[in-house]
Chain A
């Protein structure tokens, strides 16, 4: 299997549930990201992991908790979410060079999350 794989593709959860989103990349990239895509808003960067260490957290609420156990896997743990957290959650990976980003992101297909 190649590319970036996200599971599940769709998730409906209640506000008191705990769930996790999974992302796996088979590209040998050294950086992984979580993005949130809502209707009528630009893509919002949530978390960045470079070489398995978190390097950026864009003021994301604590009800979202990322985990990067190795360079190929990334999780987003969810608990006590709100209806406004309903969105498409995209995972991406990239090969970071010496401060350049010319190779771009490879995105997964996303998890469509609905909080009820």
Chain B
């Protein structure tokens, strides 16, 4: 079974702090997507990364795709309570889509 590990599993921080979450696989991705799921809602697509080494920015969020296309990271600068939620990565291959184990983030005011 292919596994897509995310770390850390849980993260509780104060507003204004920076954080990084990771998504790692033992095999190469075609591409990778990051989703955020707020309490009581379904996941919402944040970004798709396709090229090894690619970096994408979405306001205070910076997404990086590893050079070897086996890992990705999401960095949040100056976290806000509105960033609270479950962050999920999705590994995209031509024949399979696999969600990561998730990182649950709580940002306190």
Q: A104 contacts B42, CB within 8 Å?
A: no
Count residues on chain B whose CB falls below 8 Å from chain A CBs.
Answer: 22
Main secondary structure of the interface of A (DSSP, over half): loop
B40 at interface, CB cutoff 8 A: yes
User: Given A42-B102, A45-B97, A101-B97, A107 and B44 touching (CB < 8 A)?
Assistant: yes
CB distance from B82 to the nearest CB of A (A): 18
CB distance from A5 to the nearest CB of B (A): 11
Given contact pairs A106-B45, A107-B43, enumerate 14 new A-B contacts (beta carbons under 8 Å).
A42-B101, A43-B88, A90-B43, A99-B94, A100-B94, A102-B31, A102-B92, A103-B48, A104-B45, A104-B48, A105-B35, A105-B43, A110-B41, A110-B42
A21 at interface, CB cutoff 8 A: no
* Nearest 3 interchain pairs by C-beta: A107-B42, A104-B45, A43-B99
Q: Which residues of A contact B (CB under 8 A)?
A: 4, 42-43, 45, 90, 92, 99-110
> Can you report 17 residue pairs joining A to B where beta carbons are below 8 Å apart?
A4-B42, A42-B99, A42-B100, A43-B88, A43-B99, A90-B43, A99-B94, A101-B92, A102-B31, A102-B48, A102-B50, A104-B33, A104-B35, A108-B42, A109-B40, A109-B42, A110-B42
The residue in chain B whose Cβ has the minimal distance to the Cβ of A99 is B94
